[in-house]
Amino acid sequence: MAEAERIIGTPDIPDAEGADGAEPQQPSGGASPADGGQGRRKILVLLGVAVLAYLLDLVSKMIVVAKLEHEEPIEIFGAWLKFDAIRNAGAAFGIGEAFTVIFTAIAAVVIVVIIRLARKLYSLPWAIALGLLLGGALGNLTDRIFRAPGVFKGAVVDFIAPAHFAVFNLADSAIVCGGILIVILSFKGLDPDGTVHKD
């Protein structure tokens, strides 16, 4: 019998807790397939929000240029809010008109950073916030590239003119909303990868 067992061999039956009583280890080397699926869904949310913000900004600017530019401002809420088309060579809200190329480069860097960060994205609120930032940055970058006076020096189309405030556009609004959401998430201790930390 012993000789038969030696020739045939006896199958190893793994212990549920391992030979030394320790819990079985999960394979290392990254997130599980379930985590990967969640990450892909969050990236889709980011891209969906970015595309929506970008298209809303693009369409609104096309309408403004075609219908409102070189025309009298349109009053929305009396003197408190008007639609008034202007060309802004500076940053959001007309800041720094002498540094158009620099602001163009900053927008491009922001887009690259968001795309790289998306690989570790497992948080839905962060996906929405980054999507708003990405869509807004792409909206204004499109103006910088394709509008006069030239590539990377183009003036952004602004048209939302509240009383006693700078004129802005939907891309600026998306950037500000995304930035505010990121500040709130940071104060709450929620990281883009979904972990929560308390300092």
pLDDT, averaged in runs of 10, over the chain (199 residues) = 46 45 42 67 96 98 96 93 90 58 82 90 95 96 91 91 92 94 95 83
Helices (H), the chain: 2-8, 33-67, 100-117, 124-146, 170-188
12 belongs to the catalytic site: no
H-run or E-run covering 70: none
Of 117, 172, 180, 118, which is closest to residue 141 (Cα–Cα)? 172
pTM equals: 0.78
| Choice among 20, 84, 172, 193 that is catalytic | 172
Instruction: Compute the Cα dihedral for 132, 134, 138, 140 and give only its sign.
Output: positive
Q: Provide the residue type at 83 as one letter.
A: F
Give the integer Cα–Cα distance in Å for 140 and 162: 20
Residue burial 123-134, b: 16+ Cβ < 10 Å; e: rest? bebbbbbbbbbb
| Choice among 15, 158, 191, 199 that is catalytic | 158
| Residue 21, pLDDT score | 44
15 belongs to the catalytic site: no
Give the integer Cα–Cα distance in Å for 84 and 97: 19
